[in-house]
Amino acid sequence: MITIFTPTYNRAHLLPRLYESICKQDCMDFEWLVIDDGSTDDTQVLFDEWTTREHPFSLIYQKVKNGGKQRAINRAVDMARGEYFFIVDSDDALVPHAISFIKQAFETLPKGDESFIGISGLRVCFDGSFIQGKPQIDPAVGHVDCNNLERSRYNLVSDMAEVFYTEKLKHYKFPVWEGEIFTPEAVVWDQMALDGYRLRWFDTPIYYCEYQEGGLTKSTWSLLKRNPMGYAMLFNTQLKYQKEGRVNTVLQFISCCCLAGEYSYLKQCNSKLVYCLFPLGWLLSLRRKKQLKENVG
């Protein structure tokens, strides 16, 4: 069984589209687990009505205090009953064959090969167009096996629709910082790669998406202002594998720690460059404060 997990916050106007796409799946071997991250709109009204309907799948809705998507993912992974875990955002939708494709894709993985942590299909726009170009996958093979850090070799820079083994994902909870509600997903996905895990990537579209005003992709400045340590953790993770551009990454790391006032975290840096570059990083944090004021207010 697959766990479709949807974290949501004030998306009552978009959730019916996702709900309809889930109801139209050609395979019903899944549960739909929804964590409402403290919505103040009519999200709960929707689910109060939907949970009274009969469905060929299990629908679990839980409302929690607002704590951000990553805390919701951590909670959902512990709650999930499915063998596979599929994150589907509340403003998106699934193609009708998504679940059946996922099950078939996992069956292609070599038996006994513990290096795989999951599979991935492709996200496309609602009109079917590619978000950042078509992945370079040999049609005769139909897939590529690589980790998250090797994706650029195959033009897997587009948003992909990853599905993970639930039990393995439990070992990769998102680090969260007190007082912040966002940690970039690459902090976890890159750590999986560093630990030797890879995915089987397919270029089959299984997920429709669009970016909303106020969504994560279009709110980078706002996210940085409210979650500087989430980004500090991202830059620190990048320093574990970067061979080029390390000076810039260290500067970004320092500036985020300075923005947050978390100077003790500088000791956790994965590069000794942090000591000699601190003055420049502090100056960069002053520039960031000005940019944040200009772009966020």
What domains can you pick out in the chain, each with its CATH number? 2-208 (3.90.550.10), 220-295 (no CATH)
* Residue 214 in this model has a pLDDT that exceeds 60: no
Alpha-carbon distances, residue 82 vs 51, 188, 222 (angstroms):
19, 20, 34
User: Is 164 in contact with 256 (CB distance < 8 Å)?
Assistant: no
- pTM recorded for the entire structure: 0.93
Q: What is the pLDDT of residues 103-158, one digit of tens each?
A: 999 999 999 999 999 999 999 999 988 887 788 888 889 999 999 999 988 888 77
User: Is 31 in contact with 81 (CB distance < 8 Å)?
Assistant: yes
CA-based nearest residue to 262, from 223, 228, 218, 221: 228
In which region does residue 135 sit, left (phi positive, over 0), alpha (psi from -120 to 50) or beta (all else)?
Answer: beta
User: Is 154 in contact with 160 (CB distance < 8 Å)?
Assistant: no
Q: Max alpha carbon distance in the chain (Å)?
A: 63
Pairing of strands 116-124, 198-208: parallel
Q: What is the pLDDT of residues 240-288, one digit of tens each?
A: 999 999 999 999 999 999 999 999 999 999 999 999 999 999 999 999 9
Q: Quote the CA–CA distance of 67 and 76 in Å, as a whole number.
A: 13
